[in-house]
Amino acid sequence: MAALSGAGSLYEVAAAAESEAVPAFSSGSPKRRRRFRWWRLAVLLLAGAYFLIPLYAGLKFSLQDVSGHFSFQAFKNLPSAPGFTGALTLSLKLALVTVVISTIMMVPTSVYVHLKLPKMRRVLDFVTVLPIVIPPIVIIEGALGAYPLWLKSSPYLLSLLYVILAMPFVYRSLDAGLGAIDLKTLTEASRSLGGSWLTTLWRVVLPNIRPALLSATVLTLALVFGEYTMASLDLWTTVPVWIAQFGQSSDGNIQVAASMLGLIGTWILLVFVVSLDRSQSRRSRKKWGAS
């Protein structure tokens, strides 16, 4: 018994010594201190200054009267400026038609390529990049020489050309949205339940790519409201053409106020679309969590 107790005590001493010699490691990974990188802050400040300083200068100029005092007179006079209402109405019509045509053309095309022709995605990537490479002045000159007279005399020729210009942004937004979902499983489930292709596209695919579709819409609107070359060569007075013509013979404050209003309006529209998508996503999560 004495020998057993002595052996037991020796075992306990050896185990204690081993536990002290071998350090204990925690299962979790050690926390690393995040180093603050000053060059990132410098890049952000330079980028912010690059975008915000011209915007600040434009707002300051448009919010001054003749004597240099703060005033909203330029923004108040903008709706009554000669030709502004007609230019804004034309731009809104062109934007609406462009968004509708782009959606009708690109959504089914993107879905079909993802489902039936995945090997053609590279070809479509190349084709949709061409409007960025080809200058707008080349596109409008070719269209004016090839399209029939009844279409050349209509302002909606610009909508058809804007669809081409917006194609790179619309296709890539939709392609990213379709790549983020299991499109094949969703369409097969809808078809197995008796849904037609149109019903599947409207009630299954579109709700799942809503953020991508909203992004494509905002980019298209920004392009239409900022395009100048095609509209001026086609002799139609859109908002950018009106801004360029009005500034040559009238008050410069009103011209800069119209430019600032376009920038701020596009930004507000983008924020509204993003907030709308987030609120709908929260409602969907709450609905699924409650069920």
CA–CA gap between residue 35 and residue 30 (Å, rounded): 15
- Between 4 and 119, whose confidence is greater? 119
- HSE at residue 37, side-chain half, CA atoms within 13 A, is 5
pTM for this prediction: 0.76
Is it the case that residue 14 has pLDDT exceeding 50? no
pLDDT digits (tens, 9 = 90+) for 250-276: 667 788 888 888 888 777 877 777 776
- The boundaries of every CATH 1.10.3720.10 domain in the chain are 96-238
- Across the strands, what pairs with 70? 64
CA–CA gap between residue 159 and residue 165 (Å, rounded): 10
The three-state DSSP-derived secondary structure of 87-129 is HHHHHHHHHHHHHHHHHHHHHHHHHHHHHCCHHHHHHHHHHHH
pLDDT digits (tens, 9 = 90+) for 54-109: 888 888 888 887 777 788 888 888 888 888 889 999 999 999 999 999 999 999 99
What per-residue confidence (pLDDT) applies to 51?
84
Q: Tokens 């919010």 sit at which residue?
A: 63
What per-residue confidence (pLDDT) applies to 94?
94
Q: Left if phi > 0, otherwise alpha if psi is -120 to 50, otherwise beta: which for 161?
A: alpha
The three-state DSSP-derived secondary structure of 256-269 is HHHHHHHHHHHHHH
Q: Does domain 96-238 have CATH number 1.10.3720.10?
A: yes
pLDDT digits (tens, 9 = 90+) for 155-187: 999 999 999 999 999 999 999 889 888 888 999
- Backbone Cα Rg of the chain: 30
64 by DSSP, 3-state: which? strand
pLDDT digits (tens, 9 = 90+) for 191-213: 898 888 889 888 999 988 888 89
Residue 81's closest CA among 265, 253, 288, 270?
Answer: 253
pLDDT digits (tens, 9 = 90+) for 30-63: 555 666 678 888 888 998 899 889 888 888 888 8
pLDDT digits (tens, 9 = 90+) for 121-152: 888 889 889 998 999 999 998 888 888 888 88
Residue 110's closest CA among 201, 218, 190, 189?
Answer: 201
Residue 128's closest CA among 162, 178, 167?
Answer: 167
